[in-house]
Amino acid sequence: MGFFDRNRNEVIARGLDPARLPPGQYLTDRFPVLHVGDVPEYAPGEWDLTITGLVDRPFTLGLDELQALPSVTLTFDIHCVTKWSKFDTTWKGVRVRDLLDQAGLQPGASHVIEHAEYGYTTNLPLADITTDEAIIAYEFEGEPIEPIHGGPVRVVVPHLYFWKSAKWVRALEVRDSDRAGFWERNGYHMYGDPFREQRHWGD
């Protein structure tokens, strides 16, 4: 029996529902760190987030302003395209939908590009970043998000592969068409549904 089958059996033995594990993934209790480039360091007050593109009222807000908005604390499973999944991760943040509502979506808005530090970008349909679960997160497991995991603020869109959840997010750009982000230009899937195993172009 190979590693993935053994891992799936462990999931069952622990009383967890194996259906939560997408095809080709294994469960880990660790929290692997995965990104290209360096971990940015911010002076206090330096980080901010801009909502831009096809919106009526583009705006920029700082960390204090973000944390003053109505928040949600949610628990979900995350799935990295490099095949690890982690169950029951808890995040606190602000629904992306609420920020986009505040900016006022213009007719034709259909996609969003997350822009992060050092030019990292990732694209997704507007519908996927305006779900109940898609958040701009600033706490993980009750603590400020560690810099290596995207702190002070990252996107979390749990139903897509985790590369669609930009760490150190700095802008959300609303568009009327899709455009490949960093990994998407380099062969990763434009949508990235883990349960349909959409890892690469053509999957």
Residues that bind ligand MTE (CB under 6 A): 31-36, 80, 116-117, 120, 149-150, 162-163, 165-168
Nearest distance from residue 14's CB to Mo ion, in Å?
24
What ranges make up the beta strands (E) of 17-168? 26-27, 48-53, 59-62, 72-79, 84-95, 111-116, 121-125, 135-140, 143-144, 154-156
Question: Which residue blocks in the chain are alpha helix, DSSP H?
Answer: 3-13, 63-68, 96-103, 126-129, 182-185
- CB under 5 to 8 A by kind: which of ligand MTE, Mo ion, none does 35 bind? ligand MTE
Cβ-based nearer residue to ligand MTE, 8 or 35 = 35
Rounded-to-integer distance, Cα 22 and Cα 28, Å: 13
In this structure, the number of other CB atoms found within 10 A of the CB of residue 99 comes to 20
The three-state secondary structure class of 200 is strand
Nearest distance from residue 170's CB to ligand MTE, in Å?
9
Nearest distance from residue 16's CB to ligand MTE, in Å?
20
Nearest distance from residue 120's CB to ligand MTE, in Å?
4
**184: closest CA among 121, 125, 129?**
121
- CB under 5 to 8 A by kind: which of ligand MTE, Mo ion, none does 12 bind? none
Which phi and psi (to 5°) does residue 142 adopt? 80, 5
Q: Does 72 bind Mo ion (CB under 5 A)?
A: no
- CB under 5 to 8 A by kind: which of Mo ion, ligand MTE, none does 127 bind? none
- CB under 5 to 8 A by kind: which of ligand MTE, Mo ion, none does 116 bind? ligand MTE
Nearest distance from residue 34's CB to Mo ion, in Å?
5
> Where on the chain is the footprint of Mo ion (CB under 5 A)?
34, 80-81, 162-163
